[in-house]
Chain A
Amino acid sequence: MTSLAVSDHQAETATPAKVIQPVWVRIVHWVNAFAMILMIMSGWQIYNASPLFSFTFSHSITLGGWLGGALLWHFAAMWLLMVNGLVYLALGFATGRFRKKLLPITPGGVIADTKAALTFKLSHDDLSKYNSVQKLLYTGIITVGVVIVLSGLSMWKPVQLHWLVSLFGGYDIARYVHFTCMALIVAFLVIHVALALLVPKSLRAMLIGREGGYYGSSQKTPDPRCRQEAAGARCGEDDAGADAPPLHHGRHQPRRADAAHRLRRGRFVVGGGIAEEGLEVQ
């Protein structure tokens, strides 16, 4: 029924561990976080030079000191953001990560998982699988990321990219689009960081790739059922809610995820996911 394909990486490693966030995801995630914060803080300073609304951003949270300095930061960090973003999109498509982790998104799934999340019944057992709310938010924020770059480019090069400016409905509207995307990203950031702190093992996964910081021979081996999506089986039951790696692996009861057992710590991570688990179920 299921067959395992072990990757090179897994074959070489004597004690394979379940990698929830592959190393490339972790690198682009943190580079993006750094670049994005530079872009946002310098962007606020630039905004202050000619505010769109009746407020400005406090000098204490802006970057650059004045318009000229902020522009230098903005147009330096943009390279980091863009190159890193392109690497992320290219690898996301090439590895199939986007398809595997972000699709499908169904309205029913989103509604059910939103309800579960709001009643603290959302499962975080398997950090390698995103719930529907995560899928929606991550897909949404990736789209916002693309739009903020495109609106930014159209403001930077409104002559060379006049078709892009037209697409946004004009230079002035592109400014509002750019600002709105920033606001959405900041809102996402607040929720994202809050949830990552509520489910600390998701933060650990984005830092070290795994849920816990264990590298020894007692490391748990991958559970074939992790990818067995149709059966509704859950993996990682053994260590769910606990940081210690299980010493007796393979005792999983393939039980259905029932609401009472689903309140676990784990999994609210930006752009996160598996992909290079080294384990494929076909």
Chain B
Amino acid sequence: MVDSSSAEELLKKVSKFNDAVQAWIFNPDALAPTFPESMITKPFPFNAYYDLDDAPEIAGADWKLEVRGLVDNKKSWTLDELYKLPQVKQVTRHICVEGWSAIGSWTGTPLRDFLKIIGADTRAKYVWFQCADKDGYNSPLDMRTALHPQTQMTFKFADQILPRAYGFPMKIRVPTKLGFKNPKYVLSMEVTNDYKGGYWEDQGYNSFSGS
């Protein structure tokens, strides 16, 4: 209704201010509540800006996770190599920016362990993910959230290899962020000090969008 450009500029500024406030009040030790498996939402919803038929179909054998930016070891990782890393399971609530939420079970390697393995400069500001979704999906994750103990490189949903709907071969599960900041079909991660924007962030969703 109101969409004068000055109002829009002001709202963008407030959103940036909100990013700073949220980063400031974010306690990296506060854990997302976990739930018993009996509370898992079935069926767990598929949600994207495209239909399931348009979800990326990735051949696991050909896929490699590309690692870039401020890291010591930039080697790419095959799925088999990643599967060998220690994994943990979490049953947490996925909260969508739209308001709905669902409890799911995700299993994978804590991102902070992986960042350590690749020798990432954890003083950098962001880990930026690029994904295989159509039209190119990407999203920046602030480093403190990337280092949160529950932020996870996810390989399994409900104890099964991640199905196509939920991001095969790898998604980043961030229970302290809204769903749109939980990238699926990840192709690469870049440790960077630059804010490189994101698919939804660029359209106006608050970039921090974390709880």
Contact = CB atoms under 8 A, between A and B. Distances in A.
B206 A159 contact: no
B2 A172 contact: no
A99 interface: no
A76 B31 contact: no
B14 A72 contact: yes
A72 B1 contact: no
**Chain A facing B: main interface SS:** helix
A160 B25 contact: yes
Given A68-B203, A159-B33, A50 B100 contact: yes
Nearest to B209: A71
Nearest to B210: A159
A46 B99 contact: yes
Nearest to A65: B3
Interface in B172-211: 175-176, 200, 203-206, 210-211
Interface in B143-197: 175-176
A157 B18 CA distance: 13
Contacts of A73: 11
Contacts of B175: 159
Interface in A152-198: 155-160, 162, 165, 171-172, 175
B95 A72 contact: no
A273 to B, nearest CB: 32
Contact of A159 (B11, B14, B30, B200): B30
Given A49-B99, A171-B101, A159 B205 contact: no
A69 B2 CA distance: 10
Interface string B91-121: 0010111111100000000000000000000
Interface residues of A, number: 30
B26 interface: yes
Contacts, number: 77
B15 interface: yes
Nearest to A175: B99
Nearest to B176: A159
A165 B10 CA distance: 31
A41 to B, nearest CB: 8
**Chain B facing A: main interface SS:** loop
Given A159-B33, A160-B25, A72 B96 contact: no
B27 interface: yes
Contacts of A175: 99
A265 B14 CA distance: 43
B12 interface: yes
A19 B10 CA distance: 36
Contacts of B11: 69, 72-73, 76
Nearest to B175: A159
Contacts of A69: 3, 11, 204
B35 to A, nearest CB: 10
Given A75-B15, A75-B18, A65 B98 contact: no
Given A62-B1, A159-B30, A160-B30, A50 B15 contact: no
Contacts of B3: 65, 69
Contact of B211 (A67, A79, A159): A159
26 contacts: A46-B99, A49-B97, A50-B96, A50-B98, A60-B1, A63-B1, A64-B1, A68-B203, A69-B3, A71-B97, A71-B206, A72-B15, A73-B11, A75-B18, A75-B206, A76-B10, A76-B14, A157-B25, A158-B33, A159-B30, A159-B31, A159-B32, A160-B26, A160-B27, A171-B95, A175-B99
Nearest 7 Cβ contacts at the A-B interface: A68-B204, A49-B98, A50-B98, A50-B99, A76-B14, A72-B11, A159-B211
